[in-house]
Copies of this chain bind each other. A is one copy, B any other.
Amino acid sequence: MRGSDSGRPIMVALDLLGRRWALRILWELHQAPAGFRELQRRCERMSASVLTTRLEELQASRLVAQEDGGYHLTELGAELVAVLLPLNAWSKRWAEADISTAK
């Protein structure tokens, strides 16, 4: 895995999360568990092939698990999203700064 040669877990994490849709998938699964197609719908109809790939990676990383015909966060995954939750508040401030400085 890219970034893994550094031996620093944070680099591995930043790499994994820096793949298209990865963060979004975790975020959506935190809102509520979902099946494949529902997840796809929630993520602005992302392509099924990429969703398959990301779900494989996230499962291999033990952040997501599949059960009862649906995907959900593992405990590790939930802890991760919990850490990321303040992003929501930050992004609102960010958007407001956008408006106030927009040309």
Residues of B within 8 A of A91 (CB): 9-10, 12-13
Q: Is the CB of B44 within 8 A of A27?
A: no
Within 8 A of B (CB), among A11-55: 11-15, 17-24, 27, 44
Category for how many chain A residues contact B: 35 or more
Contact A23 B27 (CB under 8 A): no
**Contact status A83-B90, CB under 8 Å:** yes
Q: Which residue of B lies closest to A75 (CB)?
A: B97
CA separation between A18 and B24, bound complex, in Å?
8
Q: Apart from A15-B24, A18-B18, what 4 extra A-B contacts exist at CB < 8 Å?
A: A3-B44, A9-B95, A13-B90, A14-B27
